[in-house]
């Protein structure tokens, strides 16, 4: 990759900016989604805390189930990445994931990812958690969409015997979902 000789923005020439912007545009489009995948992959060898699967395995198990159930590609990607921020901020990992994924998902899938923590509380039988907290969201247009996700692809995906397709199965999907948006956005990169 051609590099500019300027060592600060103020000394960069118009030609330097042409080179830098073209390089950036190519890189961001070619690598769309890779950073999100890397964040998920960073959890690969973590211990499973109290559960029999770790968060990485939970995510693959959930995405595999969504794929097998015939969910569309964007939805499968949302399922795969819904917990990618678990270690960054466990108590707000849904919000953080929602912020990261917002540009790449439709509004229903974005809202689902960004709010799933309260919804999955509903399934915590025999716990001291407030299982009724979700009621504050009742009536929201994406209530059922998010509840369905938490039932089918979150609370029920901690079984170590469940099928887990390898991450390589999902990588092209993530790249496509991120890539379609990144390409558009890069069009306005100055
Ligand atoms: Fe979660
Ligand atoms: Fe989850």
Does any domain span residue 187? no
Domain count, the chain: 1
Band of pLDDT at residue 110, cut at 50, 70 and 90: very high
CATH of the domain at 106: 1.10.3210.10
Band of pLDDT at residue 49, cut at 50, 70 and 90: confident
Instruction: Determine the distance separating the centroid of ligand 1 and the alpha carbon of 180, expressed in angstroms.
Output: 26
Instruction: Determine the distance separating the centroid of ligand 1 and the alpha carbon of 96, expressed in angstroms.
Output: 11
The boundaries of the domain holding residue 61 are 47-166
pLDDT at 187: 79
Instruction: Determine the distance separating the centroid of ligand 2 and the alpha carbon of 68, expressed in angstroms.
Output: 18
Instruction: Determine the distance separating the centroid of ligand 1 and the alpha carbon of 94, expressed in angstroms.
Output: 6
Per residue in 80-89, is it b (16+ CB within 10 Å) or e — as a string?
A: bbbbbbbeee
pLDDT at 155: 97
Which ligand has the shortest distance to the CA of 63? Answer: 2
Asked if residue 48 has pLDDT above 90, the reply is: no
Does any domain span residue 190? no
Band of pLDDT at residue 190, cut at 50, 70 and 90: confident
Asked if residue 185 has pLDDT above 90, the reply is: no
Asked if residue 71 has pLDDT above 90, the reply is: yes
Does any domain span residue 31? no
Does any domain span residue 141? yes
Mean pLDDT of the chain: 95
Tens digits of per-residue pLDDT, 149-176?
999 999 999 999 999 999 999 999 999 9
Which ligand has the shortest distance to the CA of 152? Answer: 2
Does any domain span residue 123? yes
Which ligand has the shortest distance to the CA of 80? Answer: 2
pLDDT at 40: 97
Q: How many CB atoms lie within 10 A of CB 119?
A: 24
Does any domain span residue 13? no
- Helices 34-41 and 73-81: angle between axes, nearest 10 degrees: 40
Segment 98-110 shows an average pLDDT of 98
Does any domain span residue 58? yes
**Strand, coil or helix: what is 10?**
helix
**Residue 185 near residue 148, CB atoms below 8 Å:** no
Does any domain span residue 32? no
């Amino acid at each position: 990759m051609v590099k500019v000789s300027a060592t600060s923005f103020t000394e960069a020439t118009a030609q330097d900016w042409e080179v830098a912007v073209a390089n950036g545009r190519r890189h961001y489009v070619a690598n769309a989604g890779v950073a999100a995948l890397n964040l998920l992959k960073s959890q690969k060898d973590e211990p499973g805390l109290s559960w029999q699967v770790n968060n990485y395995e939970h995510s693959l198990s959930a995405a595999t189930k969504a794929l097998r159930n015939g969910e569309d590609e964007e939805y499968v990607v949302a399922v795969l990445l819904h917990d990618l921020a678990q270690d960054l901020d466990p108590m707000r990992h849904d919000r953080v994931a929602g912020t990261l994924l917002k540009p790449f998902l439709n509004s229903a899938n974005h809202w689902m990812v960004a709010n799933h923590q309260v919804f999955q509380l509903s399934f915590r039988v025999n716990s001291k958690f407030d299982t009724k907290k979700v009621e504050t969201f009742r009536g929201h247009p994406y209530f059922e969409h998010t509840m369905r996700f938490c039932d089918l692809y979150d609370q029920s995906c901690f079984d170590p015997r469940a099928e887990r397709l390898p991450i390589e199965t999902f990588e092209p999907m993530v790249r496509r979902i991120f890539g379609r948006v990144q390409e558009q956005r890069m069009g306005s990169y100055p």
